[in-house]
Amino acid sequence: MKTDHYNLQTDRRKFLRGFTFTLGGTLLGMPLLSHSMGQHGGGLAYEEGSLQTGAQQQKKMGIALVGLGQYSTNELAPALQETQHCYLAGIVTGTPSKAEAWKKKYNIPDKNIYSYETFDQIANNKDIDIVYVVLPNAMHAEYTIRAAKAKKHVICEKPMATTVEDAQRMLDACRENGVQLAIGYRLHFEPFHQRVMELGQKQVYGKVKQIEARNSSDMTDGSLDVWRLNKKLAGGGSLMDLGIYCVQGAIYTMGKPPVAVTARYGEVTKPNYFHSVEQSISWQMEFEDGVKAECNTSYADDENVLSAKAEKGWWRLSPAYAYEGKKGETHEGKMDLPNIYEQVRQMDGQAQSFMKNQPSIVPGEMGLRDMRVLMAIYESADAGGKRVEIRYDG
């Protein structure tokens, strides 16, 4: 694919251990209002020094990756070689050749390797504390619920599910089994987006007046046989995969969820690719104080922007959502912030919240909230642009 969002990244920027980012008196390791319904205090603390091994590793939480596709292979597994509070303890895969290759590469013991059929036996494995669900969207609910019943904490990739009902079932299962559920929203742990949260929510340049969010990646130069183009597996097209970043970006700029949306599907110019899911969709998110976010996402274009105008200034991130190479500026000049190994920061932060039995800054409740927004966008587009108000209570 053409953009960083899908590129296989082999030469990764190493995580800056022991480094915190202070800007404007705010520790950027301490996300602001990430949750739609409240603010969780407490920063993310990182120890200095080299990667812990041997006996020290027992202090880390063991993660089992469920699904060994591109994201697990090229992002999460390498990141887990850099983390300080969690480590790669196990894998779940339906492909024996992958299991053997990962076993050798990461020295994973046989007892920590599962198939989808034997997955439930993970309940008896004390090495594994967290199950990270990295499967096609339609499979998120099943494996999150099974992990919860196995009494394991869960990190689930975005989007949380393909329906609001499934998202609620996932959240209920985790609550009933006394485990925590977090969503793989890596950008809440990333300096550029934490700066956006600060600028918008603390009204550094006055009240936000307008937001623009665009995230697109061209999928029309590759195979037709990918799960993201299959509505049964993906739940939708570019909105579910890329547009979720725009929804998130607008919400954490404001520190609150939208009250209504208006949406329209874009023209289908590549029908051989987009007969099952949407090629593109544009939507407007309305917030209770009259602020509007103009958003767009497409699987046949390349855009990567999150920007806002406020009463006394503006800011812009571009690229905004890629794994690396983020750039930001305000009307005062360049954002002098580092690009970090985001998945390292994300998983370390999530592991710490699980260890301390504290709510994650990206909890299952946030994933459910976002599913309500995504479904409202589809409802509006299906109705030809009808304004749809969003309820978050039932």
- Active-site residues, by number, are 158, 245
**What is the side-by-side strand order in the sheet with 303-310?**
333-334, 328-330, 313-317, 303-310, 208-216, 292-298, 280-286, 260-265, 388-389
DSSP letter for 239, please.
Answer: I
Q: What tokens appear for 316 in the block?
A: 């812009």
Could you write out the DSSP letters of every residue in 76-117?
A: IHHHTTT-SSEEEEEEE-S-HHHHHHHHHHHT--GGGEE-TT
3-state SS assignment for residue 261: strand
Q: What tokens appear for 280 in the block?
A: 């593109």
C-beta of residue 14 within 8 angstroms of C-beta of residue 6: no
- Say which amino acid occupies 187: L
- For 347, residues 6+ apart whose C-beta sits below 8 A from its C-beta are 63, 76, 79, 80, 83, 85, 86, 132, 155
Three-class HEC string of 269-306: CCCCCCCCCCCEEEEEEECCCCCEEEEEEECCCCEEEE
Q: What tokens appear for 241 in the block?
A: 């995969």
Q: Which residue has the tokens 């007892």?
A: 111
